[in-house]
Amino acid sequence: MDRLEKALRDLQAEGRVTEILQRKDGVTVARVETPDGARVLKAFDNPAYAREIRNYRLLSRLGVPTLRVYAAGKDAFLMEDIADSRWRLGRAEDMEDPAVAGLLAAWYRKLHDAGEAYIRDNPDLPLYDEYALVTEESLALVRRKTGTGDWPVWDFLRDNLPALKRAADALSRVLAYNDFYYVNFAVARDGGEALLFDYNLLGKGTRYADVRNVCCSLSKAAGEAFRAAYGFAPDPAEEAADGVMAVLSTLVLAAQRDRFPGWAEEALTALREGLEGPAAALMEMSCREFRNKRM
């Protein structure tokens, strides 16, 4: 509790902690009673996760809707309490609701449109990037952890990984949310708007990958509503890149855990079946784009 009280003092915020909502991976979320009502304090003991503070500031500057932030420092910030606001937390049943999916699509479109211009103008910013997780060293860890060293796909990746990474890195990037699930979004109580919060994994990625990340969690009807409201037209090169890099980055994240998680089994299956098809498509489209620029 002393840590949280110090965080409040550093933020020059009056109030007292009344409830610990979550404590995980060096991040503590607590409800605070202030003279102006309930607030939520988020404090970071892991400096890497304090990037969320920077991400809130960035989205606010770009005009992307977020929960209101009342005060922010280097390792903590104070924001509005959803339970005492015009918002309600997302619910499991929202994942099957086309109306909610349409509201979420509107938020994602704002994020991607604003983020595309921002990343184009600031290409070297150290933003979280799932594609950057894929290296020779990280794939060696995957190979060892999964006991798949005799699979032919590893010979293919040994020969083609540099070209694949160059092709993927050449794709247009947007600000990507990367962490979609109903526990991370809020819906206005009047049903007119929705937004995502918890920006720890906000980074850069492709539109295709971020939309795929949403729609694979939605029901079929909700997914169709999301794509329609977003106006989503898949880019073939982004789709090909996702078919390779998303598989590999998922396996890298899984291999970093003590036990291989169930959510990575599908990626392991894709690896076993081989990645040559989407990889060849990606490299061919990359070469074609390079030729077009030279003409």
Query: Domains in the chain and their CATH numbers?
Result: 2-85 (3.30.200.20), 92-294 (3.90.1200)
User: What per-residue confidence (pLDDT) applies to 290?
Assistant: 41
Confidence at residue 274, expressed as pLDDT on a 0 to 100 scale: 87
Distances, alpha carbon 197 to alpha carbons 104, 105, 185, 226, 295, in Å: 12, 14, 6, 18, 44
- Contact by Cβ (8 Å): 92, 41: no
SS3 of residue 83 by DSSP: helix
- State how beta strands 203-205 and 27-34 pair: unpaired
Residues 6 or more apart whose Cβ sits within 8 Å of residue 178:
128, 130, 201, 202, 203, 205, 210, 213
Whether the Cβ atoms of residue 204 and residue 119 lie closer than 8 Å to each other: yes
Other C-beta atoms lying within 10 Å of the C-beta of residue 150:
7
**In this structure, which long-range contacts are made by residues 132-139, counting pairs with CB atoms below 8 Å and at least 24 apart in sequence?**
133/248, 133/249, 133/252, 133/253, 134/161, 134/165, 134/245, 134/248, 134/249, 134/252, 136/161, 138/252, 138/255, 139/248, 139/252
Q: What is the pLDDT along the chain (295 residues), one digit of tens a residue?
A: 688 988 998 899 988 999 999 998 889 999 999 999 999 999 999 888 999 999 999 999 999 999 999 999 999 999 999 999 999 999 999 999 999 999 999 999 999 999 999 999 998 888 899 999 999 999 999 999 999 999 999 999 999 999 999 889 889 999 999 999 999 999 999 999 999 999 999 999 999 999 999 999 999 999 999 999 999 999 988 998 999 999 999 999 999 999 999 999 999 999 998 888 878 878 777 655 443 443 3
Q: What is the CA 30 to chain-centroid distance, rounded?
A: 23
Contact 181, 218 (CB under 8 A): no
> Using CA atoms, how far apart are residues 18 and 242, in angstroms rounded to an integer?
44
Q: What local confidence, expressed as pLDDT, does residue 288 receive?
A: 52
pLDDT at 295: 36
Check residue 123 and give its pLDDT. Answer: 84
Q: 27 with 92: CB under 8 angstroms?
A: no
Q: For residue 294, what pLDDT is reported?
A: 37
pLDDT, tens digit (0-9, with 9 covering 90-100), for 92-114: 999 999 999 999 999 999 999 99
